[in-house]
Chains A and B, each alone.
Chain A
Amino acid sequence: MSKQTAMINRYKWYEVISIYAAIAVFLFFVLAPFVEGFLVSLKPLSRLFSSPYRFWPEHGSFDAYFTMWDSVPNFGLYVFNSIFISTVVTVVVLILVVPAAYAFARFEFSGRGPLLAAFLAVNMFSGAVLLIPLFRLMRSLGILNTYAAMIVPGAAFLIPTAIWLLRTYMMRIPKELEEAAYVDGATRLYTLRRIILPLAMPGITVVAITTFIGAYAQQFIYALTFNSKTEFMPLPIGLFAYFGRQEVIWNELMAASFVGIAPALIVIFFLQRYLVSGLTAGAVK
């Protein structure tokens, strides 16, 4: 062997083959719909249901990526709405969750355990179960058919998970750091701002990403029920516009889906650079 690896990382040839086979099976399940969707977006509509079925597109082209803008002229607005709603949800969630998670991680107060359990229980209900009460609530508040109708429930249902995630992260920050700051005269808020927030940044980034993705994915149900104005519609509803009365424009629908998730992908790509581990190295010991 030219390159030495540690004993713990050495495998027999059949172990290597089974590891890669397992990865391949897993990846196939996860990625096949995406591959198929992408190939569909390249096919001309008339050839979609040609028999025999062909996996590789004949006469494949990116035409659908251009014609989709004509079939649904508002598509750009829907994408913008989606990003806008998700961004506002993420910001709102972060503003509320950072102090909350800190409190849950550090302060002893009565009802902390039950509250955390309640948050977990809320996660068991999807928003769909509560649609009718939510609808009545929105109506009483007078925010039906506004952005708020999608932002408020969106944020509300994402907060519990975010608190749990960030609380766990913050509990890993050594308590001595806060005690040292306290001994040096810093207030709780000063400590939160100067010590905890910078150290919790990777955790906050994870929460931001999951919240953004969550908000991006869950809009459908709220948008469908709480909003009937076209100009506020987000991406999932916008995709519905490709379902015509006679036929579904499958290739443009697939193209639109890929275009629609592109902004989210870009946001995540940039955020993940902040997921640096080992930021607390050198704090204690």
Chain B
Amino acid sequence: MGQLHLNKVTKSFGEIDVINGVTLDVKDGEFVVFVGPSGCGKSTLLRIIAGLEDATEGGIVIDGVKVNDLAPVKRGIAMVFQSYALYPHMSVFENIAFPLRVEKMPEADLKKKVESVAAVLKLDQRLQQRPGSLSGGQRQRVAIGRAIVREPKIFLFDEPLSNLDAALRADMRIELTKLHHDLAATMIYVTHDQIEAMTMADRIVVLNGGYISQVGKPLELYHKPQNKFVASFIGNPKMNFLPATCIAAKPEGVTVVCEGQTVTIPVEPRDGLTGEKLTLGIRPEHITLGAGDVKFDIVPSVVERLGVNTIVYASASGDAPFSAAFAGAAAVTVDTPATISFNAADCHLFDDKGEALERRTDLHEIDLEALNAV
């Protein structure tokens, strides 16, 4: 069992508030990813759960027991550090065996356990080597081995893949997902990499400035971001934001004027919207060349050809750079104006506070349950 409940957890370092009241429930066996930009408090929150930092206020409850004053080992958690934190003077065997040595497990049991963990992580050939002679991926596996050998209730990962190169990171991502499936343990994973979050998480917690911006399944965050921050954080390249003015809010949607064109976007209307300045959000991958509901010209300044798609950067009427991703090899060249368009159904609308008007996308249409069965 590994349920975690955070109840209005706050953390201040002197005058600076790092965590501003986080309330969160993590179910047993769930893979939850904390994601956010640097300094958003995600690592601090993880360290509070681990017991390496005290919460200034609020309760941390694991399996119904308040653990605020318990040492990490008593909380039933194990942690994998960003820097691996392997003991360089010990062999791989001793590194993995360390938590068992601490609890003075008999030698025979210890050996059996370490060897079974090593087999799971494909480290059985490396047990007598020192961490210094291992590759980055192997070191990472030793660090994970040290965490799973104790069979904790909850695993905590602090940006475990950020020191690996891109190819290895993709491999380890798959291995971690498999490991989560095999162990069926609760895992909490901190990363700044939205790809890691999207690919591994059952649920993503987006943190911004010590607040939870949104909690949801990966595709929920992608299709129904609750605010501009989540909308721009999830997705690569970032969502484009264009200024728009509301001229009508009717049951079928909100009608805005954007780039001089009138378009009705299918979002939940709200009273008092008419005349308001809004922000229209459109993801680069939803922009196409040619005709659509909203159509305008851009002058590409940079064109990136990735094979699978072509990414175009240009300056638009908004202050932020405008980007578009076209499938395959699109016929665009730098400094040659191109006509692009997008459809009203793909648009997001945000009010002046950055809060989203809920889109009428039915998440069942994209079969979320099948994609993300917990």
A contacts, CB < 8 Å to B: 174, 176-177, 179-186, 190, 194-195, 198-199, 279-285
Please give, as numbers and ranges, the residues of chain B lying within 8 Å of A176 by CB-CB distance: 81-83, 85
Q: Taking A184-B98, A184-B150 as contacts, is the C-beta distance between A285 and B163 under 8 angstroms?
A: yes
Q: Which of B73, B103, B133, B163 contacts A282 (CB 8 A)?
A: B133
* Contact of A183 (CB < 8 Å), options: B78, B86, B132, B136: B78
Of A184, A190, A195, most B-chain CB atoms within 10 Å: A184
Contact A184 B73 (CB under 8 A): yes
- Given contacts A199-B88, A282-B88, A283-B83, 15 further A-B pairs with CB under 8 A are A174-B85, A176-B81, A176-B85, A177-B87, A179-B85, A180-B81, A183-B52, A184-B78, A184-B99, A194-B87, A280-B88, A281-B88, A283-B87, A285-B84, A285-B163
Measured in the bound complex, the distance between the Cα atoms of B288 and A176 in whole Å is: 49
Task: Report A-chain residues with C-beta under 8 Å of the C-beta of B83.
Answer: 174, 176, 283-285
Neighbouring B residues of A198 by C-beta, 8 Å: 89
Q: Tally the A-B contacts, defined by beta carbons under 8 Å.
A: 80
14 contacts between A and B (CB under 8 A): A176-B82, A180-B85, A183-B73, A183-B77, A183-B78, A183-B79, A184-B99, A184-B150, A186-B98, A199-B89, A282-B131, A282-B134, A283-B83, A284-B85
Q: Does B239 lie at the interface of the complex (its beta carbon under 8 Å from any beta carbon of A)?
A: no
Cα distance, A224 to B51, chains bound together (Å): 56
Which of B71, B82, B85 is packed against the most chain A CB atoms within 10 Å? B85
Least CB distance from B191 to A in Å reads 17
> Complex: how many Å from CA A182 to CA B79?
10
Task: Please tell me which one of the listed residues B50, B87, B130, B134 contacts residue A195 in the complex, with CB atoms under 8 A apart.
Answer: B87
Chain A's closest residue to B81 (CB) is A176
Seen from chain B, the residues whose Cβ lies within 8 Å of a Cβ on chain A are 50-52, 71-73, 77-79, 81-89, 98-99, 102-103, 130-134, 136, 139, 146, 150, 163
CA of A198 to CA of B88, assembled, Å: 10
Task: Among B103, B131, B133, point to the contact of A185 (Cβ < 8 A).
Answer: B103
CB distance from A145 to the nearest CB of B (A): 45
Given the interface contacts A176-B81, A282-B134, A282-B139, does A181 sit within 8 Å of B88 by beta carbon? no
Contact indicator A185/B86 (Cβ below 8 Å) = no
Q: Which residues of A contact B84 (CB under 8 A)?
A: 283-285
Q: A185-B72, A282-B134 are in contact. Are A177 and B102 (CB under 8 A)?
A: no
Residue in A closest to B50 when the chains form the complex, CB atoms? A183
Shortest CB distance A106–B (Å):
14
- A174 / chain B contacts, CB cutoff of 8 Å: 83, 85
In the complex, the chain A residue whose C-beta lies closest to that of B80 is A180
Determine whether the beta carbon of B85 is less than 8 Å from that of A283.
yes
Please determine whether A183 and B72 come into contact, CB atoms closer than 8 angstroms: yes
User: 10 closest Cβ contacts across the A-B interface?
Assistant: A282-B132, A185-B73, A284-B83, A282-B131, A176-B85, A180-B85, A184-B99, A281-B132, A283-B88, A183-B72
Task: Write out the residue numbers on chain A whose beta carbons fall within 8 Å of the beta carbon of B139.
Answer: 282
Closest CB in chain A relative to B138 CB, distance in Å = 10
Instruction: Note all chain B residues with C-beta closer than 8 A to A182.
Output: 52, 71-72
Cβ-closest chain B residue relative to A185: B73
A280 to B79, CA, bound (A): 21
* Chain A residues within an 8 Å CB radius of B150: 184
Nearest residue in A to B150 (C-beta to C-beta)? A184
Closest CB of chain B to A42's CB: distance in Å? Answer: 48
Expressed in whole angstroms, the Cα–Cα distance for A112 and B52 within the complex equals: 22
A190 touches B79 (CB 8 A): no
Measured between beta carbons, the chain A residues less than 8 angstroms from B146 are 180, 184
Q: Do B71 and A185 have beta carbons less than 8 Å apart?
A: yes
Query: CA A174 – CA B50 in complex, angstroms?
Result: 18
Which residue on chain A has the smallest CB distance to residue B78?
Answer: A183
Cα-based distance from A180 to B77 in the complex (angstroms): 12
Complex CA–CA separation, A1 to B52 (angstroms): 58
Residues of the B chain whose Cβ atoms lie less than 8 Å from the Cβ of A279: 88-89
Within the assembled complex, what's the spacing in Å between the Cα atoms of A263 and B55?
57
Find the B residue at minimum CB distance from A177: B85
**Which chain A residue lies CB-closest to B163?**
A285
Complex: A29 Cα to B134 Cα, angstroms: 47
Closest-CB distance, B86 to chain A (whole angstroms): 6
Which chain A residues border B87 with CB–CB below 8 Å? 177, 194-195, 283
Residue in B81, B130, B133, B150 whose Cβ sees the most chain A Cβ within 10 Å: B81
Return the chain A residue nearest B156 by Cβ.
A183
Closest Cβ neighbor of B99 among chain A residues: A184
Within the complex, what minimum Cβ distance (angstroms) separates B127 from chain A? 15
Chain A residue numbers with a CB within 8 Å of B72 are 182-185
Inter-chain CA distance A195–B98, complex, in Å, is 10
Least Cβ–Cβ distance between A187 and chain B, in angstroms? 8
Task: For the complex formed, measure the closest distance between the CB of A176 and the CB atoms of chain B, giving whole angstroms.
Answer: 4
> In the complex the two chains form, what is the Cα distance from A280 to B83 in whole Å?
13
- Are the CB atoms of B86 and A283 closer together than 8 Å? yes
- Across the interface, which residues of B come within 8 angstroms of A285, CB to CB? 83-84, 136, 163
The one of A179, A190, A199, A280 in contact with B102, judged by C-beta atoms closer than 8 angstroms, is: A190
Is the CB–CB distance between B134 and A179 below 8 Å? no
Contact B52 A282 (CB under 8 A): no
Tell me the minimal C-beta distance from A182 to chain B in angstroms: 6
Cα-based distance from A119 to B296 in the complex (angstroms): 73
Distance in angstroms between the alpha carbons of A186 and B98 in the assembled complex: 9
Tell me the complex Cα distance, A195–B88, Å. Answer: 9
Cα-based distance from A198 to B90 in the complex (angstroms): 10
Closest Cβ neighbor of A280 among chain B residues: B88
Expressed in whole angstroms, the Cα–Cα distance for A181 and B72 within the complex equals 10
CB distance from B269 to the nearest CB of A (A): 50
A198 to B99, CA, bound (A): 18
A283 CA / B134 CA spacing, docked (Å): 11
A279 to B50, CA, bound (A): 29
Hey, which chain A residues are within 8 Å of B132, CB to CB? Answer: 281-282
Chain A residues near B81 (CB-CB < 8 A): 176, 179-180
Of residues A181, A190, A194, A283, which shows the largest number of chain B Cβ atoms within 10 Å of its Cβ? A283
